[in-house]
Amino acid sequence: MKQKLINAAYSVSNIEETIKTQNFDTFSFDYYSKDIGENGVSVYDNMTKIYNNCKRFCDNFDNETKGLVFYGSTGLGKTFLSSAIAKELMDKGKMVIYIRATKLFSINEDYKFGRNTDRSVIDNIYKADLLIIDDLGTEPFNKNNLAFLFDVINERTANNKKIIINTNLQISEITKMYSMRFTSRLYEYFMMYKFYGEDIRIQKLRRS
């Protein structure tokens, strides 16, 4: 029975291939500097803290009351750790939906305007045990998208369904793009983790 749950979780996740290479077992701290920064914390220590909190989030998932927001520049591990969390939870039979922000809003618009009448995709966005929204801030901004985003966050939170949001925006940019009300909602419903350091993709190119 458990294996059936796991197989079902994998089949709807949209991340089945990604998690083969992006998971807790393959995560490397080699690209995070141990030099102390201006804030008194090294990139390595910051990432170690985030990594451990992600593991704890998985271990205590059913009792967690808040989701996670990963924010910061590109290439620092936000999507990687989201994938790692997804695998950990799917291996426990949890239903996880991974979706890019642009796709999330296009699905809603297609359903809203009758271009796609399949309600099951929308239902999964609201009902999955974990919803991962990747690259928030890359979508075209409009009031309909913001209203839908608020609704997803509010409904899922009310039903104790967790969300992870990844964004390359800084907090001030989130506020400017969406609203202070939206930023306030993030602080209320999510644990906020700032990623910083040097783009890992660039480091890998330099080392190759």
CATH no. for 2-207: 3.40.50.300
Q: Order the strands of the 190-195 sheet from edge to edge.
A: 96-100, 130-136, 162-167, 67-72, 190-195
For the segment 79-89, the average pLDDT, to the nearest whole number, is: 96
Reference 161, options 151, 146, 175, 174; nearest CA is 151
The pLDDT confidence band at residue 132, using thresholds 50, 70 and 90, is very high
pTM of the model: 0.91
For the segment 126-151, the average pLDDT, to the nearest whole number, is: 93
What was the pLDDT predicted at 133? Answer: 97
Amino acid present at 194: K
The pLDDT confidence band at residue 117, using thresholds 50, 70 and 90, is low
203 versus 3: the higher-pLDDT residue is: 203
The pLDDT confidence band at residue 161, using thresholds 50, 70 and 90, is very high
Amino acid present at 198: E
What was the pLDDT predicted at 187? Answer: 96
What was the pLDDT predicted at 10? Answer: 56
Amino acid present at 137: G
H-helix segments, the chain: 2-12, 43-59, 78-90, 101-112, 119-127, 143-158, 171-177, 180-189, 200-207
Q: What is the percentage of the chain residues whose pLDDT exceeds 70?
A: 91
Given a contact cutoff of 8 angstroms between Cβ atoms, the answer to whether 19 and 94 are in contact is: no
| DSSP notation for 31-82 | TS--SB-TTS-BHHHHHHHHHHHHHHHHHTGGG---EEEEEESSSSSHHHHH
